[in-house]
Amino acid sequence: MDFLTFIPTVTRPTRRLPLSKRLFWTAVVATVYILMTITPLYGIQRGQQQATQPGQQLLSIIFGTAYGTLAHLGIGPIVIAGILLEVFAFSGILNLDLNKREDRLKFTLLLKWAALGIAAIEATAYVLGGQFGTVTPVGGVLIIAQLLLATIIIMLLDDLMSKGWGIGSAISLIIFLGVTRQLFLSLFSWDVAVDNQDQPHVVGLIPALAAAIYDFITRGDATQLIGLINRGVVLKGQTSLTYLPDFVGLISTILLLYVLLYLEMMKVNIPVTAGQYRGIKFTIPLRFVYVSVLPIIFTTYSLLLVGQLLLPFYNPEPGTGNPVVNTIIHVIFLPHRFFHDIPALVLHYLIYVALAIAFAWVWVQLAGLSAEDQAKQFAQSQLHIPGFRQSEKIFAKILERPINALTIISGFIAGSFAALGNILGVWGSGAGLILLVEIGLQYYALVMREQIMEMYPGLKQVIGQ
């Protein structure tokens, strides 16, 4: 396994860093990645970029990608490699015990090489597929080399965060930055989109609102102001509607964000007592949204992958092309909002919900979150459920019903919000909002934990740090 250590890594700090320094290094990681998203790849000529394909924006939000830059692949190779290896590890294919330090190290090294392999395949496919336009053989090799180097940089950034220099992980931070960037652009972007009638439209809602108010005051024309309620336009070079940031999207985003926050804060409490101190009773809270991040990433990525594979066979002109392919593309990418095409909306919703529930169920069974796994942790912690004999099998039987119910409910919630977000046109997409809320709450909990540790240093010995 010595060859696996060839990829560079970051060493842990000699002592636990204070919160201020960890926040500083977290900001450094965020800055480095933002610079990567604006640093163009050498060898790509301006004007050779392809038109934005359906779903490309959603992929850029989830995987933090930026076309034609060092962040062209984003965290996609690392996320996909991590999911695949975790499935292999938990299913026993890799024969690794992640509770052992040596096996965890092997898993991390395998993850890095798997991510590099996936990055190499993706980069080669993009070059050969003409996504960067016409490039020379030397230029193609240089582009692939730059994308592999960028993947290594992202892995080092993640190492820096996870080894204790920063807070959380670089992967979560990059996803969070991608969603917040989309929300910021939806509000403040000064970019201009031109429709098929050569009419310009300011993309950001606030600049567009300012222009509409000025037009209303100076000319008494309220057309633009009313149009900001629902801005569906056919952009130049496209055939389907594109919804620019509008008030419907803003209100939908705020409402879904609030409901998601509320549901994410809900807990289901399991009453237990300590094995050695039966008189001390407390509860172990299980999240109501038991699992949502990875199932919705699985769901979204799977649908977008199918859509991208079928796009070459798609013809948007009515009565042309393969009707099955056209229907699938139409349902996946959903070019219309509200009641333009009710069957497509219903199918879009049902597909998202069904896939999210299926992936949630599979992930819980493979990722150590099932009733049996939780019961094992209960038994190892010498916890006792009042009124029942202290037995791992009994624990599993008691926990089976609530955990199975929470798994299905969380998959249903994740799929519903992702689909409704797409239908209502929320900013950053429904899947993006789920990731934003999950990661935001994780960071809040981590920062609060670090603050408590600094205020009460004695807690480090209590929890074994």
Q: Tell whether 195 and 139 lie within a shared domain.
A: no
**4 found inside a domain:** no
Q: Please check whether residues 257 and 386 belong to one and the same domain.
A: yes
Whether residue 194 sits in one domain with residue 88 = no
List, as own/partner pairs, every contact residues 370-374 make where C-beta atoms lie below 8 angstroms and the sequence separation is at least 24, other chains included.
370/403, 371/396, 371/397, 371/399, 371/400, 371/403, 371/404, 372/396, 374/399, 374/403
CB contact set of 440 (below 8 Å; sequence gap of 6+)? 176
- Overall domain count for the chain: 3
Per-residue tokens: 96: 């690794």
Residue 212 tokens, joined? 């509409």
Is residue 366 in some structural domain?
Answer: yes
Same-domain status, 407 and 273: yes
- Claim to verify: residue 32 and residue 167 sit in the same structural domain: yes
| Within a domain: 281 | yes
Q: Residues 39, 100: one domain?
A: yes
Q: Are residues 143 and 207 in the same domain?
A: no
Instruction: Output phi, psi for 288, to 5 deg.
Output: -60, -45
Same domain, 275 and 201: no
Last-in-domain residue among 148, 173, 188: 188
Render the burial of 235-266: b for 16+ CB within 10 Å, e for the rest.
beebeeebbbbbebbbebbeebbeebeebbee
Structure-block tokens of residue 461: 């010995």
Cβ contacts of 311 within 8 Å, gap of 6 or more: 53, 54, 329
Angle (nearest 5°) at CA 238 between 235 and 241: 65
Q: What distance in Å separates the CA atoms of residue 12 and residue 314, rounded to the nearest whole number?
A: 50
Residue 240 maps to a domain: yes
Residue 142, pLDDT score? 92
Whether the CB-CB separation of 438 and 293 falls below 8 Å is answered with: yes
228 contacts 245 by C-beta, under 8 angstroms: no
Q: How many whole angstroms separate alpha carbon 465 and alpha carbon 462?
A: 8
Are both 221 and 302 inside the same structural domain?
no
Sheet strands (E) in 275-318: 281-287
Q: Going residue by residue through the chain (465 aa), what tens digit of pLDDT does each one get?
A: 555 567 778 888 888 888 888 899 999 999 999 999 888 888 876 544 444 555 667 777 778 888 888 988 888 888 888 878 877 777 667 777 666 777 777 888 888 888 999 999 988 888 887 778 778 888 889 999 999 999 999 999 988 988 888 888 888 898 888 888 888 888 998 888 877 777 888 888 999 899 889 888 888 878 888 888 888 777 776 666 778 888 988 999 999 999 988 888 887 776 665 555 455 565 667 777 777 777 888 888 888 778 777 776 777 665 566 777 877 877 887 765 655 677 888 888 899 999 999 988 888 877 677 777 777 776 666 666 665 666 667 777 777 788 888 888 888 988 998 888 888 888 888 888 888 888 888 888 888 887 777 776 665 554 445
Per DSSP, the chain holds a count of helices (H) and strands (E) of 16, 7
- Residue-range definition of the domain harbouring residue 220: 190-244
Which residue, among 416, 449, 446, has the nearest Cα to 434 in the 3D structure? 416
Q: Give the pLDDT score at 464.
A: 47
Using the structure block, give the residue that is written with the tokens 């999950």. 438
346-349 contacts, C-beta under 8 A, 24 or more apart? 348/419, 348/422, 348/423, 349/416, 349/419, 349/420, 349/423
∠ Cα 213 216 218 (to 5°): 105
State how beta strands 383-384 and 267-274 pair.
antiparallel
Same domain (yes/no): 359, 306: yes
Three-state secondary structure of 312-366: HHCCCCCCCCCHHHHHHHHHHHCCCCCCCCHHHHHHHHHHHHHHHHHHHHHHHHH
Instruction: Verify that 203 and 155 share a domain, yes or no.
Output: no
Q: Is 157 in a helix, a strand, or coil? A: helix
The last residue of a domain, from among 228, 244, 260 = 244
DSSP 3-state of 209: helix
- Asked if residue 7 belongs to a domain, the reply is no
**What is the pLDDT at residue 3?**
52
Helices 137-160 and 101-128, axial angle in degrees (round to 10): 150
Does residue 385 sit in helix, strand or coil? coil
Residue 3 within a domain: no
Residue with tokens 């603050």: 451
DSSP 8-class letter at 16:
P
Tell me what pLDDT residue 277 has: 45
Residue 97 has a CB neighbour count (10 Å cut-off) of 11
Cα of 193 vs its chain's centroid, Å: 27
Instruction: Judge whether 1 lies within some domain.
Output: no
Is there a domain that residue 34 lies in?
Answer: yes
Same domain membership, residue 229 and residue 117: no
What CATH number corresponds to the domain at position 348? 1.10.3370.10
